[in-house]
Amino acid sequence: MAAAGRAVRAWRAGETQQEVAARAGIDSDTLGSLEAGNTWPWNRTLRAIEDALGQPRGELDRVAAEADAPDRSPPARELSERTRQLMRDELGDEMAARLIAHAEHLASGRIPSAAPEDDHPRESGGRGRRSAG
């Protein structure tokens, strides 16, 4: 919502909320609430605002959806040698090696396989299914 409000403020380009609202046939409080990110008006109101500002239909929806999209930036591909050394110093060689391997796995983008089964048998605690007999 906030991104759409910022877009409307930018599109107004010096016009007042009252001027744009009058042209769109809406209340200026509605426009102010959209710009503040407090509300999301009905579709007909959004289309009227887009028309009044000379924007294509659906542009406010697109701006809002783009702002809500998760960040798709790729993860860092490699830990620096300095980072690896700090991990070893703080965590010890074994734990650092495990974390470095995990970080490299995540950076590779591969889907992890199923977790291996524990080497220890689980105790049922009397909660297993009983056979009908």
When computed from its CA atoms, the radius of gyration of the chain, rounded to whole angstroms, is 28
Specify the DSSP class assigned to residue 114. Answer: P
- The SS3 of residue 111 is coil
**pLDDT tens string 12-36:** 988 999 999 999 999 999 999 999 9
pTM of the model: 0.52
CB 84 within 8 A of CB 60: no
Domain 2-68 fold is: 434 Repressor (Amino-terminal Domain) (1.10.260)
% the chain with pLDDT above 70: 73
- Domain residue spans of the chain: 2-68, 74-111
**pLDDT tens string 105-119:** 777 666 555 555 544
Query: What amino acid occupies position 57?
Result: R
